[in-house]
């Protein structure tokens, strides 16, 4: 029986867990940052490691009894170093936002200038939004996409960098459907003696499989969450060089390496006890990502996104930048005469889960912007391929062209459930 102890002891929680599993099974999870972790990853998160305090790092803990915890954390570190070909890895950050905070504060002072991508053009809250710690602590200068083709213009990024002289250039996005030119970002950072940092949370799996350029060798610091295309637990890691390339410039008195600065900032700088059960789950996910099936999976995510995008456009929907190179796309709802929230809610009524999102140069407000963001990582984990993407794109277009048609939405909901039955998830649960 599923969750026997919770069911016996706490039926209220068990019932909600059952309902959420059913929702995930019978819906189309198309929020591009969501995915289905393997059962092995799920199991690791529910282990006795949650009981243990392990402040510190392997071999240097502030508590006794950490011999097996040390082995697990070291395994996660070694696996991540091998997987990413990284000089140094910190596997302790609890989340992407906290990890970004650690990256900035490891090498910068409050008030320092960072360049990051505008949230409305595809960046992230922690890339300098004024309501977030990032925008409040640092002087963020935003770059965006050009109005003409809705892509990042690297000449403009370079001009802005030369003018503003940031101490860090941050690349990476959460709603950008095109390839990011990490090499040019790194070269610009070198040219102005700034740190090059990339946040690859969304595209990490694609980077590992060669479906997107990988910034690890060209950047000083790379942060990724482990949840999304990596298909691990809800958490994050920081990859970095060992040496601090700019140490004499920014930390003249510091003897610390970049690796030491980052470790000291994560603990004791920002966090206390690490979540060792989650670190074990990360180790499991890193081993899964070494397998050839993982590469095939990433290639299929991209192929599926291509078919989804093409079919949506054939159905008369405008996609930001005219398509996608990666795992996600943004539908511009403007010509449909609806807000993105209206569209995403109508899709959710049919069991198709996407999220409403700002699009570049949006004339609407974030609470009901013009865009719908959707992607293929979770559907691809279920085994869906191009044929299913065409079916799904047609269903989506049908709903978005007629969001108030209740009987149509009911019919589509039934079709969605039927479709998911051919691609069951978590069959052993």
By CB under 6 A, name the binding residues for ligand DSN: 33, 96, 124, 174
Nearer to ligand DSN, 121 or 167 (CB): 121
| Maximum C-alpha span of the chain | 69
User: Residue 90 is inside which H or E element, if any?
Assistant: strand 88-90
Strand-strand pairing, 113-117 and 139-143: parallel
Cβ 208 to ligand DSN shortest distance, Å: 18
Nearer to ligand DSN, 33 or 137 (CB): 33
DSSP string, 197-259: EEE-TTTHHHHHHTSS---TTT-SEEEEESSSTT---S-EEEEE-SS-TTHHHH-TT----HH
Catalytic residue among 199, 220, 244, 332: 199
Q: Where are the beta strands (DSSP E) in 267-403?
A: 318-319, 328-332, 352-353, 355-357, 371-375
* Closest CA relative to residue 92, chosen from 103, 108, 104, 107: 103
Catalytic residue among 228, 231, 282, 341: 228
Cβ 117 to ligand DSN shortest distance, Å: 13
Nearer to ligand DSN, 58 or 205 (CB): 205
Nearer to ligand DSN, 56 or 233 (CB): 233
Q: What angle do CA 40, 44, 46 make, to 5 degrees?
A: 120
- 225 catalytic? Reply is yes
Catalytic residue among 7, 139, 234, 247: 234
Cα separations (Å) of 172 from 121, 212, 246, 264? 11, 12, 21, 24
Q: At what angle do helices 386-400 and 340-349 cross, to 10 degrees?
A: 120
Cβ 201 to ligand DSN shortest distance, Å: 6
Q: End-to-end distance of the chain based on CA atoms, in angstroms?
A: 8
Beta bridge partners of 331: 319, 372
Catalytic residue among 53, 153, 245, 411: 53
- 325 catalytic? Reply is no
Residues of the chain by 3-state class (helix, strand, coil), percent to 5: 50, 15, 40
Nearer to ligand DSN, 31 or 179 (CB): 31
Q: What angle do CA 123, 41, 220 make, to 5 degrees?
A: 40
- 387 catalytic? Reply is no
- 390 catalytic? Reply is no
Nearer to ligand DSN, 30 or 393 (CB): 30
Q: Report which residue's Cβ sits closest to ligand DSN.
A: 33
Nearer to ligand DSN, 33 or 235 (CB): 33
Cβ 96 to ligand DSN shortest distance, Å: 5
Cβ 421 to ligand DSN shortest distance, Å: 27
φ, ψ of residue 176 in degrees (nearest 5): -125, 115
Cα separations (Å) of 241 from 67, 86, 275? 27, 7, 24
Cβ 136 to ligand DSN shortest distance, Å: 18
Cβ 175 to ligand DSN shortest distance, Å: 7
Contact present, 244 and 107 (Cβ < 8 Å): yes
- 234 catalytic? Reply is yes
Active-site annotation, residues: 53, 55, 199, 225, 228, 234
């Amino acid at each position: 029986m599923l969750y026997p102890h919770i069911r016996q002891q706490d039926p209220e929680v068990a019932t909600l867990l059952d309902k959420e599993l059913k929702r995930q099974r019978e819906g189309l999870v198309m929020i591009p940052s969501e995915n289905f972790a393997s059962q092995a990853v799920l199991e690791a998160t529910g282990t006795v490691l949650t009981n243990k305090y392990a402040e510190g790092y392997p071999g240097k803990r502030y508590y006794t009894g950490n011999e097996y915890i040390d082995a697990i954390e070291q395994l996660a570190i070694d696996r991540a170093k091998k997987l990413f070909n990284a000089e140094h890895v910190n596997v302790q950050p609890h989340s992407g936002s906290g990890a970004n905070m650690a990256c900035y504060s490891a090498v910068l002072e409050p008030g320092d200038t960072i360049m990051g991508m505008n949230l409305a053009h595809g960046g992230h809250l922690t890339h300098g939004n004024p309501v977030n710690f990032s925008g409040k602590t640092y002087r963020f200068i935003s770059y965006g996409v050009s109005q003409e083709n809705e892509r990042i213009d690297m000449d403009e990024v370079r001009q802005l960098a030369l003018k503003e002289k940031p101490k860090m250039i941050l690349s990476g996005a959460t709603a950008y459907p095109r390839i990011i030119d990490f090499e040019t970002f790194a070269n610009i950072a070198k040219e102005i003696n700034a740190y090059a940092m990339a946040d690859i949370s969304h595209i990490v799996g694609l980077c590992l499989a060669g479906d997107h350029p990988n910034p690890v060798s060209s950047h000083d610091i790379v942060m990724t969450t482990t949840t999304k295309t990596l298909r691990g637990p809800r958490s994050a890691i920081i990859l970095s060089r060992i040496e601090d390339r700019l140490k004499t410039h920014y930390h003249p008195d510091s003897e610390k390496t970049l690796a030491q600065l980052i470790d000291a900032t994560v603990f004791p700088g920002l966090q206390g006890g690490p979540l060792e059960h989650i670190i074990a789950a990360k180790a499991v996910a890193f081993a899964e990502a070494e397998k050839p099936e993982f590469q095939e999976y990433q290639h299929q995510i991209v192929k599926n996104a291509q078919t989804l995008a093409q079919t949506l456009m054939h159905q008369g929907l405008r996609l930001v930048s005219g398509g996608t190179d990666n795992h996600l796309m943004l539908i511009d709802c403007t010509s449909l005469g609806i807000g993105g929230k209206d569209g995403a809610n109508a899709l959710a009524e049919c069991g198709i889960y996407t999220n409403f999102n700002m699009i570049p140069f949006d004339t609407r407000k974030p609470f009901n912007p013009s865009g719908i963001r959707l992607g293929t990582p979770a559907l691809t984990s279920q085994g869906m391929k191009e044929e299913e993407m065409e079916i799904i794109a047609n269903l989506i277009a049908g709903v978005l062209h007629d969001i108030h048609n209740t009987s149509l939405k009911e019919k589509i909901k039934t079709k969605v459930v039927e479709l998911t039955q051919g691609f069951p998830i978590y069959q052993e649960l």
